[in-house]
Structure 1
Amino acid sequence: MADILPPNLLQERPRTPAGLLSNAEKDRLIERGFLGLYRWYTARSQETRNWNADRSFDWRHLRKDLPPEVVTVMQGFFAVEQYAPDFTSQLVHLVRRSHGRSHFQLRWGSEEEKHADAWENAVLFSEQRSPEWIAEYKERLRSQTWELPFPDAIHNLVYTVFQERATQLNYLNMMKIAQGKSEKPHLAGVSDPVLAKVAQTIAVDEAAHYNFFLEGVRMYLYYYPERTLDAIKNVIGQFSMPAASLVPDWQEFSETVYRAGIYGPRDFQRDVMQVAFRNLGIESRKALEEGIRKTREVPDFEGQNARTTAIFDTFDYGQIEGDVRRLHVKIQDYEQEIGFDKLDPTEFIENPEVPRQGGQAADD
């Protein structure tokens, strides 16, 4: 078509096929979704998870005879969370033009800071590391800087989904050990109510973080399916936990975590990747990679905003549309409670690119 248009009409040709959303409009809708989600998240966080790392736990009664393996794991958790200032500053800078995302990262950072303080308290009150040792260890940790694993916002957003789920799993399994429920012989009978409460409290935070980032990826998956699926494929292909290259005794920590039944490669496959895939309507890693390959074989719309249909066979688009609609209902309910709905409401706009059958909506 472009070859036979007169040169004077080429400039007038619309960049977006008729009936489709422009990238600018998609970006606006995603940003409004993030802003509404941030407002809802912050209110809920302040109402239900407003704990303090010093006062919310009975530190004096933390066991002083915890097994060395448990203390090693606590030390590793403390080490990773020490990079909260880097995690926060790098991500805020990356998304600083987005109100909802940048302000959420500040809120997220304040919650991660509490995790760092709580795990430091756990190590200190175990009395198996001296205050001097902890101070020197922190200095070693903070002498290095954590850097973003990916250069762009969408890859880092996807990364945080898998990272937060993996972190939550680590803390939940530590909680089980502290509740005396470990199936490992060398940890049988270990029980510490204070440690169990610490791990559970932080795990609840990590679940909230996972859900925020998950909702964000769902919005991207709804409006930019091909780009988002490609980012998911890239992230899981090179995933590693944050600060693995910075913590000086990472090898000992990771081996101890594995032997304790807290986290390992099988846990990532079964309880992180597959859980996230299920929440994103993706059947499996193989299905994801095959779907992306087929999509790239479909010719695009003469070089302009391709409307490819093969990508919609890669995941359950109806599930994602239903999830995004429900997110907007939650945001709208919150806006009605505050009064935003009268002045500046958040609206859900359907993505017309998805193939429909018999005129039905994707989640009908």
Structure 2
Amino acid sequence: MADLPILSCPELERDIWRMYRDFFDKAERRRRWRIADDIPWNECNRNLDPAVADVIETFCAVELYLPDYTGKILPVVRPSKGRTWFYANWGYEESKHSLALNDWLVKSGHRSDEYMTDMESKVFEREWNLPTESHVGMLCYAMSQELATFINYRNLKNRIAALGGDPALEKLLGFISIDERAHYSFFRDATKIFLTHDREGTIAQLRPILNQFQMPAVHDLLDESTKRIERIRNLEVFNEEIFYREVYFPIITDLGITKAEMRGKPIKKSYKTDPNPSTSA
């Protein structure tokens, strides 16, 4: 699975840089929110189903691996200004998600400051590693991960009303969901650009990412991972069926990739016949 070398296509890099500027400008105009001012913290529900707090703790713990996420991908994509600048912005937004989730757990009374400090210490004892060394593979991974993360946050937000309601958490999850959807859109559009330059190579990188997909950290880096996954499934926030219905198939549809291509079958090519071959150079 050889990668298309970074900077081998100036046109590709120009397109990604333009995408990033558009992404950034829209974020500045439409998506920026402030933890202290834009969430009704006085409306936290201290009696909300404890299972919700368990899931929020898991999401918060996953976000705490941000130093690994950014620290390990930036050297891989450093030659690409568009992707480097995007990951810097992405890191800022993800750090805000982590802070806000932590704040809700404490302000709602579901967790203490001491508990969160202990949880953070356990997280930092372990290290997340890139699932692939391919820069194109990581682009495909990030795209898939961001859509799955959006689905997780959206579904949990939609479940809260039936579990007792929490205006502060619902507002917070709404902000985060919008951010995650915007991240997915950037990665998807960047993947489309790579598809135009190296379709077979890009699909070859995407195939194992989708076929072996796992949420980062939850499965192998967090304490009581089995219990955490079960909580997420029991609340119908995310499971295998949801993954295929709302992540796998939407991605290949958005990218215009066929099921046959995802199975690794050769791509059929059509060639136009030169009506006057004798004049060809």
TM-score (norm 2): 0.91
Partner of 1:324: none
Structure 1 pair 129–277 and aligned structure 2 pair: CA distance change class (3 A)? same
Percent identical residues: 29
Structure-2 residue corresponding to 1:294: 266
* One-letter amino acid of the counterpart of residue 224, structure 2: D
Structure 1 unaligned segments of length 5 or more: list them. 1-21, 181-186, 296-309, 313-353, 360-364
Structure 2, unmatched stretches of 5+, are 276-281
Give the letter for the 1:209 counterpart.
Answer: H
Quick check: 2:6–2:79 contact (8 Å CA) kept in 1? no
Pair 1:205 & 2:187 matched = no
2-side partners of 1:169 and 1:78: how far apart? 16
SS at the partner of 2:213? coil
Rg (Cα) greater in structure: 1
Number of matched pairs: 271
Matched, 1:82 2:64: yes
For the 8 Å contact 1:78–1:119, the answer to whether it is kept is yes
- What is the letter of the counterpart of residue 244 of structure 2? Q
Match in the other structure for 1:254: 229
Q: Mark the CA change 1:24 to 1:111 in structure 2 (over 3 Å): closer, same or farther.
A: closer
The structure carrying a bigger helix percent of its residues is 2
Instruction: Give the Å deviation of 1:236.
Output: 1.4
Aligned residue number for residue 194 of structure 1: 168
Q: What code does the residue aligned with 2:63 have?
A: E
Q: Deviations over 1:127-147 (max 9, x none)?
A: 121110111111111121211
User: For the residues of structure 1 that align with 2:81 and 2:128, how far apart are their CA atoms?
Assistant: 24
| CA distances 1:182-236 after superposition (whole Å, capped 9, x unpaired) | xxxxx4xx21121111111100000000000001100001110010111111211
Matches within 5 A, 1:155-166: 155-166=137-148
Matched, 1:217 2:199: no
The match for 2:133 is 151
Task: Please say if residues 137 and 209 of structure 2, whose CA atoms lie closer than 8 Å, have aligned partners that are also in contact.
Answer: yes
Q: 1:114 aligns with which of 96, 101, 115?
A: 96
Mapped contact 1:164–1:207 kept (Cα < 8 A) = yes
Structure 2 counterpart of 1:243: 217
1:69 matched residue in structure 2: 51
CA distance in 2, matches of 1:117, 1:23: 36
Larger RCO (alpha carbons 8 Å, 6+ apart)? 2
- Deviation of the 1:355 alpha carbon: 4.7
Name the SS of the counterpart of 1:179 in structure 2: helix
Cα contact 1:178–1:193 (8 A) shared by 2: no
